Structure 1
Amino acid sequence: MEDSTRLGYCVVAASFVAFQFCFSAASPQLSLSLCPGYSALPPVKRSEWNSRCVSTVHAMVVGLFCLYILWYDDAVNANPIWGEPRLVKLNVAITCGYLLYDLLLLIRYWRTLGDSLFVCHHLAALYAYGYVLSRGVLPYFANFRLLSELSTPFVNLRWFLDTVGWPRSSWLALANGLAMTMVFFVVRIAVIPSYYAQVFAWYGTPEYGRLGLSVQLAWIGPSLALEVLNVVWMYRITRGFYRAFCQPKPHKTA
């Protein structure tokens, strides 16, 4: 096993432990000190609150790292299939640790947090990212996929506002809803043509052939599955925003 691969698995383990610590210790303490309403939440809501705090931290770390790689990592951008994957492997390792932590959390709190779509998403991502960690292939496409995490903080903020009692008709909720809808569309839906333009540009090349059938299937199969999930989530978000912003509010009679 190469040193970089061994280091990647160590980062996965460290990431898993770090996110578990954030869920169990860091988030409860910070939430108690920063948000008075947190202490009044029932245990089930507190668990989801802590889970979404961890999710937000992961999204911000990984999403900003993705932007840096996309803008400044010339080796990855020059050869999306076999470019130098060192930084991408580090980012993917952080995400794999988070996905493993979140899968165990979903299983533990399945009655309240369980969602089959999230399980499918996590398993498909872990399957594809495993090849990035073990063989260092497809760094550009792996990094491109992780850009979708930039929409997560807005999704979580909507839940936080609902939980502490902010009405969805308030200016903050509407502003976040608009930002969430726009960012989600940009990083998950609008990028689909660009992503598959790169796929078709490298399809059939010698670099593509070197991947082997198993990696090719791990690349294309989960990608298509994630597109379906993103379209479903985009529909849900758009419908929710329309209900909150566009539908007329009923007026109370005197």
Structure 2
Amino acid sequence: MGRSLRTVGTFEAYQNQAGVLVRNYVLADPYIPYTSIFLGMLTCKLAYELSQLISTFYSRNYNALTKTQRMDWNNRGISTLHAVFISIMSLYFVFWSELFSDQNHSAGLVTFRNSSISTFSLGLSVGYFLSDLAMICWQYPSLGGPEYVLHHSLSAIAVAYAMYMGEGQLYTYMVLISEITTPWINIRWYLDVSGLKKSTAYLINGVVIFFSWLVARICLFGYMFYHVYRHHNQVMRMHIFGSLLVFVVPVALGIMNLMWFGKILKGMKKTLSKKT
């Protein structure tokens, strides 16, 4: 009984020490940008290795792929993990958190609001974008062409600025909600390389991509532009580079989203015409 109590006490002591470490270093304001980016990159590395390990033993389709395709397979595992995480955090901060709420008048200008958690989450995202951009450039153009390099570069710069400067984090999270479409894009690729392009799952996936893209990458961008218009005076009080990012980056990403949406619409029409 005494040994059991000592074990519990020791566990609680280590737990308290871990909590102090997290508060004083990982989530301490001066260290958040560095620890979050590092943890983001480390998570990407671990996710890649884990995807490779699991897929090698449990997926016959994976072992039949080329070396480049296997790298793409594992890389999409990373992007899916990031997309799920940042989509949840973005939806929370944009629609449910009081941090950026217009009703929270005591918090000051919405363009300058931030918190340790919001900054830390953006840092993890920066770590992902830098890691993925490095892999795309290393294997260029196998993992993506110039549009992917441009997309990731703009995203990394905008997210990093919002993280370091604490400005425009609300608009950064609005744009990052678009990552909710990424898992469905990856699933489509997995189905394709697995020889299931003519399956019902592939058709359903295409429909989900169409509607999720329409909502998250078209309609939501429209809402963001409307929000910027309503809070124009607050946006203009940001640093000139921050204001430029708020106007330029979403417009550039929005144009790319419209171009990709045109391809999605064309592909869905072609698929549906074959089914009928």
TM over 0.5, yes or no?
yes
CA distance in 1, matches of 2:213, 2:258: 10
CA drift of 1:227 comes to: 0.8
Aligned residues: 244
CA distance in 1, matches of 2:257, 2:30: 30
Q: 1:47 to 1:184 in 2, by over 3 A?
A: same
CA drift of 1:248 comes to: 6.0
Segments of 4+ moved more than 6 angstroms: none
Q: Does 1:43 align with 2:67?
A: yes
What is the match of residue 273 of structure 2? 246
Q: 1:40 to 1:7 in 2, by over 3 A?
A: same
What is the match of residue 145 of structure 1? 175
CA distance in 1, matches of 2:95, 2:58: 35
| CA offset digits 1:101-143 (Å, max 9, x no partner) | 0111011111411310011111111221222111111121111
Contact 1:154 1:180 in 2 (8 A): yes
SS for the counterpart of 2:113 is coil
What is the match of residue 91 of structure 1? 121
Matches within 5 A, 1:85-164: 85-164=115-194
Matches within 5 A, 1:6-21: 6-21=31-46
CA drift of 1:190 comes to: 1.2
CA distance in 2, matches of 1:80, 1:163: 45
Aligned partner letter, 1:216: S
CA distance in 2, matches of 1:138, 1:10: 21
CA drift of 1:62 comes to: 1.0
CA distance in 2, matches of 1:68, 1:161: 30
**Given the two structures, how large is their TM-score scaled by the length of structure 2?**
0.83
Contact 2:32 2:119 in 1 (8 A): no
Q: Does 1:182 align with 2:211?
A: yes
RMSD over equivalenced CA pairs, Å: 1.8
Contact 2:221 2:250 in 1 (8 A): no
CA drift of 1:233 comes to: 1.1
Q: 1:106 to 1:165 in 2, by over 3 A?
A: same
Aligned partner letter, 1:163: V
Gaps of at least 5 residues in structure 2 are 1-26, 103-108
CA distance in 2, matches of 1:103, 1:19: 12
Contact 2:79 2:182 in 1 (8 A): yes
SS for the counterpart of 2:161 is helix
What is the match of residue 28 of structure 1? 52
CA drift of 1:235 comes to: 1.0
CA distance in 1, matches of 2:179, 2:141: 25
SS for the counterpart of 2:111 is coil
Aligned partner letter, 1:228: I
CA distance in 2, matches of 1:71, 1:129: 19
CA distance in 1, matches of 2:101, 2:218: 21
SS for the counterpart of 1:112 is coil
Q: 1:135 to 1:111 in 2, by over 3 A?
A: closer
Q: Does 1:229 align with 2:256?
A: yes
CA distance in 2, matches of 1:31, 1:3: 37
What is the match of residue 8 of structure 2? none
CA distance in 2, matches of 1:35, 1:244: 27
| Identical counterparts, % of pairs | 23
CA distance in 1, matches of 2:218, 2:66: 36
State the structure with bigger RCO (CA 8 A, min sep 6), 1 or 2.
1
CA drift of 1:71 comes to: 3.2
Contact 1:85 1:139 in 2 (8 A): no
